[in-house]
Chains A and B, each alone.
Chain A
Amino acid sequence: MNRDRSYTPEDEYTPDEMMAVAASREISDGVVCFVGIGLPSEAANLARLTHAPGATLIYESGTVGAKPAVLPLSIGDGELAEHADSVVSVPEIFNYWLQAGRVDVGFLGAAQIDRYANLNSTVIGDDYGHPKVRLPGAGGAPEIAASAHEVIVMLRQSPRSFVGQLGFVTSVGHAAGGDSRQKLGYPGGGPGVVITDRGVLRPDPDTKELTLVALHPGVTLDKAKEATGWNLAVADDLQRTRPPTETELSVLRDLRRRTGARNG
C-alpha cells in the first residue's frame, strides 16, 4: 500500500463495516449479549468469531447461546435455534433474563436519538393518532434500555436521526441527564456508547450528555457536527477510530458471503 496517498476509507471498507467493527470491539469475551437484527447481529457475531468466543448471544425470540453460521434475517430464524444452548419462551427472555439483570450488554437502534441517548422508534410527527410516519414501535427496546447493564446504540448519524427533541420517547437512555435515569428506578446503566457512521459518542460521566470521543477514519469534525441536530459536545482528547484490521474485515465479509449464499 502506498503510505503517502491520502487516506480514503471508501476504497477499503464501507461506513457500515466500520460501524460493525467498532461495535464488535465493545463486546468482551464472556459477556451475555442481547442482540438485534442487522448491524448489531453482525457486530455481535463478529465479536464471537474473533476476540469473544465465550460471549453468550441472546435473541428476543428465545434463543440463548445462539451460534448462527449465517446472519439471521429475522430475530426468529431457525438458524438461531439450531445451534443454541437453549430455546426458551418469550416471557422467560424478558422476565428471567432482561428484567432480572442477567444481560450484560444490549444493542439498540432507533429512528431518532437525542443528546441524552433517549430513543424513538414509534412515530415521527406530533399527532400520535395520525403521525407523519408510523414506525414499527417499541418491540423489546424499552426492556433492553431499562435492564441491560450496558447498552450499545448503533445509528447512522444525520440531522433527521440526531434530533434536539424526540417525537416520542420509546426507550429511556439517560432521561434528562445527570442522575435522572437512576431516579426512574432502572437498574441497568443505560447507553454507554453510541456508534455511528461518523464516529463514537459516549455520555459525559456527570451530565450524561453524549460527547463525541472518536471520529472514524476519513471523517472530519465538521462532518460529524453537520450530522447532529444539536450543538455536539466534543471530547478534549478526540480520538481517531482504529480502522478495521484485515482479520476483522475478512471474518465479517466471510459471514456476509455465507449469509448471501444461504439466502440466495
Chain B
Amino acid sequence: MKSAGITTLTEAVGELVKNGDEVALEGFTHLIPTAAAHEIIRQRKRDLTLVRMTPDLIYDQMIGSGCARKLVFSWGGNPGVGSLHRFREAVEKDYPHALEIEEHSHAGMANRYVAGASGLPFAVLRGYVGTDLPKVTRTIAPVTCPFTGERLMAVPALNPDVAIVHAQQADASGNVHLWGITGIQKEAVMSAKRAIVTVEEVVESFEPRPFGIVLPSVVVDAVCEVPKGAHPSYAHGYYNRDNAFYEAWDPVGRDRQRFSSWMQRYVHSTKDYAEYLDLIASEGQVRT
C-alpha cells in the first residue's frame, strides 16, 4: 500500500515520469494540470504516450515540444476557440516528428478508464458500430454478449504508467479533495500504476463540498502544492477559467517559430511554475 508523500513538482516528475512512459494528464476542462505538463516539458521528457480524453493547450505544448511519440485521445481542440495547431502539424506534416494516434470517442475513453480502474481487461459499450473509427483504431473490436447475444463493441482497459491530475486541496497526510466538475480524474488516478496530484493548497482539514470527492492517499504517490497550477483552466472556488488566454494561444500555437520562442522564454527559461506565473503575470498575459 502506498501513501502519498508531499513533495515538489520538480522531484515528483523527475522520479515518477520516465521517458517512454504512458502518461495520462486528465481534467475535463476544469482542473487541468498545466504546471505538471510544463515540468514535463522543462525536464525534456521524451517518447511519451500521452493519454487524455480532451488534449488541449498542454498537450499542444508537449507535442510541439517533442515530448510525445503517441497520442491516445477522443477530442483534440482548443475548447471554444478552434484547432490545436501543434497537434495538427504533427498529424498532418509529421512536425516536429511523427505522432502515432489512437483515436476513440469520449464514451470509449471513459469506459477504458473504468475498466482500468476496475482491474478488468476490457469494457463494453454500444457505440462505434457503423462509424469508421473501428477501421482506424485497433483497440476497438466487436464482442457478443454471452447472455443476450447482442453485438457490442469492446475497448481495452487503460492502465497508464502515470496519471497526473490537479485538485483544490490536500491534507498533510496526502489525502486529496476536489469538487465542481470532477470529470474523469478519479478513474484516471485509480487506473494508473503511479499517480501525481498537484493541489492549490495543503490544508489542515477538508470541509464538505457539494459533489466533492476525496482521493485517499493510498491511491496517490506524490502530492505537490502548486498554486494556480491549472491556469488557464480553472479551480472551482479558487479562480476562474482564463478565456482570454485560450484565445491568445491560437496565434502562438499556429506559428512554429512563435511557438518555440514562447516555450523557450516562458517554460525552459524559468526554473519552476511559480517563476513562470510571475513572468506571465508581469507581462499581463494572465487574467483571473
Name A99's closest neighbour in chain B (CB-CB).
B126
List of 4 A-B pairs having minimum Cβ-Cβ separation, nearest first: A76-B29, A136-B77, A139-B75, A74-B79
A interface residue count range (under 10 / 10 to 19 / 20 to 34 / 35 or more): 35 or more
Contact (A73, B106) CB under 8 Å given A90-B184, A139-B75, A184-B130: no
Name B212's closest neighbour in chain A (CB-CB).
A87
Contact: B126 with A78, CB < 8 Å? no
* Interface-facing stretch out of A56-64, A211-219, A248-256: A56-64
A-B contact pairs, 15 of them (CB 8 A): A61-B29, A73-B243, A75-B29, A90-B53, A122-B103, A128-B136, A133-B88, A133-B92, A134-B83, A136-B84, A137-B74, A139-B74, A147-B126, A185-B150, A186-B130
A-chain residues with CB within 8 Å of residue B107 when the two chains form the complex: 94-95, 98-99, 140, 142-143
A-B contact count (CB 8 A): 177
Assess whether B111 is interfacial by the CB under 8 Å rule. Answer: yes
Q: Complex formed: what's the CA distance from A134 to B93 in Å?
A: 10
Contact: A78 with B114, CB < 8 Å? no
Q: B-side interface residues toward A, CB under 8 Å?
A: 28-30, 53-54, 73-77, 79-80, 83-84, 87-88, 91-94, 103-107, 110-111, 113-114, 125-133, 136, 150-151, 180-184, 186-187, 210-211, 234, 236, 240-241, 243-244, 246
B-chain residues with CB within 8 Å of residue A172 when the two chains form the complex: 129-131
Q: A-side interface residues toward B, CB under 8 Å?
A: 37, 60-63, 72-78, 80-81, 86-91, 94-95, 98-99, 122, 128-134, 136-143, 146-147, 168-172, 175, 181, 184-187, 263-264
Most chain A CB inside 10 Å of its own CB: which residue of B75, B83, B236 = B75
Name B73's closest neighbour in chain A (CB-CB).
A137
Contact: A131 with B92, CB < 8 Å? yes
Name A125's closest neighbour in chain B (CB-CB).
B92
CB proximity of A112 to chain B, nearest CB, Å: 12
CB proximity of B51 to chain A, nearest CB, Å: 14
Contact: A73 with B184, CB < 8 Å? no
Name A188's closest neighbour in chain B (CB-CB).
B126
Name B30's closest neighbour in chain A (CB-CB).
A76
CB proximity of B58 to chain A, nearest CB, Å: 14
Contact: B106 with A143, CB < 8 Å? yes
Q: Complex formed: what's the CA distance from A74 to B78 in Å?
A: 9
Contact residue among A74, A122, A169 (Cβ-Cβ distance under 8 Å from B241): A74
Contact residue among B53, B75, B181 (Cβ-Cβ distance under 8 Å from A80): B181
Contact: A87 with B180, CB < 8 Å? yes
Q: Complex formed: what's the CA distance from A187 to B129 in Å?
A: 12
Contact residue among B80, B92, B130, B150 (Cβ-Cβ distance under 8 Å from A74): B80
Contact (A122, B132) CB under 8 Å given A61-B181, A94-B111: yes
Contact: A186 with B79, CB < 8 Å? no
Name A263's closest neighbour in chain B (CB-CB).
B243
Q: Complex formed: what's the CA distance from A139 to B84 in Å?
A: 15
Contact: A95 with B111, CB < 8 Å? yes
B-chain residues with CB within 8 Å of residue A88 when the two chains form the complex: 211
Name B240's closest neighbour in chain A (CB-CB).
A78
